Amino acid sequence: MTTASIGRPLPRVDGRLKVTGAATYAAEADVPGLAYAVQVVSTIAHGRIAALDASEAEAAPGVLAVLTHLNAPTLPYLEHWSLIDPAVGERLHVLQDDRVRFNGQPVVVVVAETVEQAEHAATLVRVSYAEEPADLDLPARLDQAITPEAGLPAGSSHLADYQRGDPDGALAAADARVDHEYWIARENHNPMEPHATVARWDGERLTLWDKNQWVTNARDEIAAVFGMPADNVQVISPFIGGAFGTTLRTWPHVTLAALAARQVGRPVKLVLSRRQMFAGTGCRAETWQRVALGATRDGRLTSIVHEATAETSTYEQHTESTLSATRFLHASPNVRTGYRLVPLHVHTPNHMRAPGEASGVFALECALDELAHEIGLDPVELRLRNEPEQDDEWGLPFSSRSTRECYRVGAERFGWSARHPRPRSMRDGHWLIGWGMATATYPTLRAPASARARLLADGSAVVEAAASDMGPGTYTSLTQVASEALGLPPERVRVVIGDSRLPTTPVHGGSMTMASVGSAVQAACLEARARLLEFTAEPNESYQRILARAGVDAIEAEATSGPGDQGARFSMHAFGAVFAEVAVDANLGQTRVRRLVGAYGAGRIVNPTLARSQAIGGMVGGIGMALMEHTVIDRQNGHVLSANLAEYLVPVNADIQQLDAIFVEETDPHVNPLGVKGLGEISLVGVAPAIANAVFHATGQRIRTLPITPDMLLPTAWSTT
């Protein structure tokens, strides 16, 4: 019994459920007797609640309860930390005091018979504040930046400052130098599905239907908040309508749903509005960076200095791996990186797709493009001349590194050799045409994971794990891994995920799901198959006949798979090269991305169709980061001015033209048993700098701030005849 499933472009096994509406998302949980909760949020950024009158709301039709800091029970908020939480600080304790820490903080929750009644009653709550001065302006507070207390990111062995060699001395002595500052605006995740939780108590047991990327962590967090055994909490999240990191953490609305359900003695549904998501469920932090490069006349890097300062909240220190790639991506004997934070009266930022790397690589790869222009060298050739032989940060060999091949095949597919190097030298009517490129990288991560496999008497199999699927195709890829390991056709395998009662798995993020959960599924299936074959000496006998003859209804095996010592012996990353063509309207400064080519060395590709989908999705996100996405904050009161999809722009179909993803052949036996590296993050990394570099090539205007908007390019139009 053999079947080759891995590597096939298998259609999504959950596709029919989604297109027919049969897939159930958090807000669609069919729970009898639902009541509905709506949050009231603060309208100031810093201060305290001076007075609160809920009497009119309490008397409104259908209202069951109005919970505030004045009547909410005290919650234990026992210590709980996971790798997605800031290592320093304390999460928001919702409705536990009168303090306001950011604009948009939940201060009241109204529960009613219908959502309309709850929404109406919420407008009747009267809250007045004793406002205090708020720090809200990152540019104005750069001189007040602090060093993170726990290094970066949480759990990293690196402190905020790193140095090898004498980077400042080498920079001063370099034949060629560039030294510039770069800014990235705050971004919000904005998935299609809003945050939603349905909470139901059955005595001392709590069930949560929650939009969540890590159900076991949500279980443990809520158990800690309420001071109850984790076994008494079940979190269910079989389908997620996009997340991009926004549901990595368990935000206060989950606690409020559970608290409200306990208070009214009924199941309660709480769904955040789009505006509330902008102010309370994380964001990519606004970031300032400085990159200084020194090089010889022939383009050999002699010095890299990369500094970054990012916003965080006043009550937690959120850190990211913004500078990690700088220390190994390009060869240089002299490197210095430094990371700082500015505490502001905002809610805590959160990991957003390609966290850290997307921000840091933008500045680094733009600076490299500036250096290439300075010394008159092709941008691809500059990178080839600085391709490292090993990870110079750790002195370790790469488990595999296909960067040279990515440059080659990407440039060939794009037609890079036809690029005229002089800015403003390529036109199409009134459009200025620019070509740019950048390198991409993301670490190959793996965490311990468990899975269970059952072979059934009818010859089918069920595979179970607590993992989530926010859209990359986890159901399908795990089906393919199980199919191949069991020697069964994919249609005979059913994957069950998204329930904290199932075998424990790590967070569905960081491009680690297939490396971690896929390896565990493979191990469990191989063990189940081995146990089955103990009943027969005939390897080609069907599972049904083996089980029937043995008088066994099912064979079950559970396995845990985790990283060994590979991380101490190898530097493990995915790599890629992104090529972009843009057209800039010479009169209006409007930019259009005409095509993107991304070439990636991402290990073994489980499903080419899913892989391409992941890659072009990341490219679309990169286009948004480069040209559109900007969370605008009122620097006076912290109010998010662009908290809707009319004023916060994301790419739509009309913005997307030609996207091309190439996967170079790469075998890596060290990263994990499947040899996979993950594509969710790396496909976004490198897109924004490739576009920014293309804009420079088109216009001669170097824009070092994201997003690049038409007003920034108007001087080009004014100088055009």
The better pLDDT of the pair 191, 535 is held by 191
Per-residue pLDDT for 204 more than 80?
yes
Do residues 265 and 327 share a domain? no
Residue 157: Cβ within 10 Å count: 6
**Tens-digit pLDDT profile for residues 149-164:** 976 665 455 679 999 9
pLDDT at 2: 58
pLDDT at 152: 61
User: Residue 712's pLDDT band (boundaries 50, 70, 90)?
Assistant: very high
pLDDT at 538: 82
What number is the average pLDDT over the span 631-659?
Answer: 96
**Tens-digit pLDDT profile for residues 607-631:** 999 999 999 999 999 999 999 999 9
Contacts of 441 (CB under 8 A, 6+ apart): 325, 329, 357, 361, 573, 574, 575, 576, 682, 685, 686
pLDDT at 153: 63
**Tens-digit pLDDT profile for residues 375-387:** 999 999 999 999 9
Do residues 270 and 290 share a domain? no
What number is the average pLDDT over the span 396-421?
Answer: 98
Listed residue (263, 260, 224, 254) closest to 236, CA to CA: 254
- Judge whether 7 lies within some domain: no
What is the percent of the chain where pLDDT is above 90? 95
Distance in angstroms (rounded) separating the CA atoms of residues 621 and 189: 10
What's the gap between Cα 478 and its chain centre? 20
Q: Is the peptide bond before 707 cis (omega within 30 degrees of 0)?
A: yes
**Tens-digit pLDDT profile for residues 217-229:** 999 999 999 999 9
Structure tokens at 438: 């950048």
**Total number of domains in the chain:** 3
Do residues 299 and 269 share a domain? no
Q: Name the DSSP letter for residue 416.
A: G
Active site residues: 681
**Tens-digit pLDDT profile for residues 326-335:** 999 999 999 9
What is the span of the domain harbouring residue 423? 143-186+284-444+569-718
Do residues 409 and 512 share a domain? no
pLDDT at 72: 98
- Judge whether 118 lies within some domain: yes
Per-residue pLDDT for 434 more than 60?
yes
Do residues 291 and 276 share a domain? no
Do residues 319 and 429 share a domain? yes
Per-residue pLDDT for 717 more than 50?
no
User: Got the DSSP string for 162-193?
Assistant: EEES-HHHHHHH-SEEEEEEEEE--B----SS
Query: What does the buried/exposed string (b/e) look like for 206-237 if buried means 16 or more CB atoms within 10 Å of the residue's CB?
Result: bbbbbbbbbbbbbbbbbbbbbebeeebbbbbb
Do residues 403 and 457 share a domain? no
Distance in angstroms (rounded) separating the CA atoms of residues 94 and 255: 8
**Tens-digit pLDDT profile for residues 345-373:** 999 999 999 999 999 999 999 999 999 99
Domain termination site, one of 562, 595, 625: 562
Domain termination site, one of 501, 534, 562: 562
User: Residue 344's pLDDT band (boundaries 50, 70, 90)?
Assistant: very high
**Tens-digit pLDDT profile for residues 695-710:** 999 999 999 999 999 9
pLDDT at 297: 97
Q: What is the mean pLDDT of the chain?
A: 96
**Tens-digit pLDDT profile for residues 86-110:** 999 999 999 999 999 999 999 999 9
Per-residue pLDDT for 680 more than 50?
yes
pLDDT at 536: 86
Do residues 371 and 414 share a domain? yes
**Tens-digit pLDDT profile for residues 558-573:** 999 999 999 999 999 9
pTM of the model: 0.97
**Tens-digit pLDDT profile for residues 237-263:** 999 999 999 999 999 999 999 999 999
What number is the average pLDDT over the span 453-457?
Answer: 97
- Judge whether 641 lies within some domain: yes
- Judge whether 4 lies within some domain: no
Domain termination site, one of 534, 562, 590: 562
User: Got the DSSP string for 597-657?
Assistant: EEEEE-B--S-HHHHHHHHHHHHHHHHHHHHT----B-TTT--BTT-STTTS----GGG--
pLDDT at 37: 98
Do residues 413 and 329 share a domain? yes
What number is the average pLDDT over the span 659-672?
Answer: 97
Do residues 578 and 688 share a domain? yes
User: Residue 540's pLDDT band (boundaries 50, 70, 90)?
Assistant: confident
Instruction: Give the domain CATH number at 488.
Output: 3.30.365.10
Residue 551: Cβ within 10 Å count: 8
pLDDT at 566: 93
What is the percent of the chain where pLDDT is above 70? 98
